Structure 1
Amino acid sequence: MANFCKISFPGSDFVPITVESHQNLSEHLTIQNSPVLFGCRTGICGTCLVEVIGDIPPPQPDEQEMLETLALKNPNARLACQLDLTANIAIQTLEK
């Protein structure tokens, strides 16, 4: 049986969504259901930089390199297109 994760967007008018664990978030978030914008969806453009509140696996080396460039001082910063969902999380967009 699949596990599901709830993604909420505090500070916005967007309603929480639920997706299966280990799904690619960029395939489930659209401009209609989230404040997160996507560009390349491969982790190299930084468009989907967000702050994540919740328990998620650490970033892979390529994502970590981008985060050090885009949001060095924010330990909760992640690229939404690179998240491996394993638990309920809250996402807030970050100003670049």
Structure 2
Amino acid sequence: MADLCKVSFPGSDFETIILDIHSQLSEHLTIQNSPVLFGCRTGICGTCLVEVVGDIPPPKTDEQEMLEILATNNKKARLACQIDIISDVEIRIIK
């Protein structure tokens, strides 16, 4: 079980999903299994802006630049399409 991670969506009706460690969220989340919406899936549109609670790698430069525009001063904000899952996480949509 150490190679599996739980992705939960508190505050929504979506059930927790189990992914392999180092899964890219954008490859596994759909409108049927999560509240996260995706547009470009490359980190330039901001459609998948979320708050993440849990251990994930820090954003790369391009994502960080988008986060500074879309979610100033929100240290939990991330673009779901850019997240590499390395542990259990909670994901909430930023409204």
* In 2: Cα distance, 1:29 partner to 1:92 partner: 13
* In 2: Cα distance, 1:17 partner to 1:49 partner: 19
Corresponding residue of 2:45: 45
Corresponding residue of 2:92: 92
Q: Is 1:30 the equivalent of 2:9?
A: no
Structure-1-length-normalised TM-score: 0.95
* In 1: Cα distance, 2:63 partner to 2:26 partner: 15
Q: Secondary structure at the match of 1:22?
A: coil
Q: Is 1:20 the equivalent of 2:20?
A: yes
Q: CA deviation at 1:4?
A: 1.0
Q: CA deviation at 1:23?
A: 1.2
Q: Check whether the contact 1:2–1:20 (CA below 8 A) recurs between aligned residues.
A: no
Gaps of 5+ in 1: none
Gaps of 5+ in 2: none
What number of residue pairs does the alignment pair up? 95
| AA matched with 2:23 | Q
Corresponding residue of 1:56: 56
Corresponding residue of 2:76: 76
CA RMSD of aligned residues (A): 1.2
Q: Secondary structure at the match of 1:46?
A: coil
Q: CA deviation at 1:78?
A: 0.1
Corresponding residue of 1:9: 9
Structure-2-length-normalised TM-score: 0.96
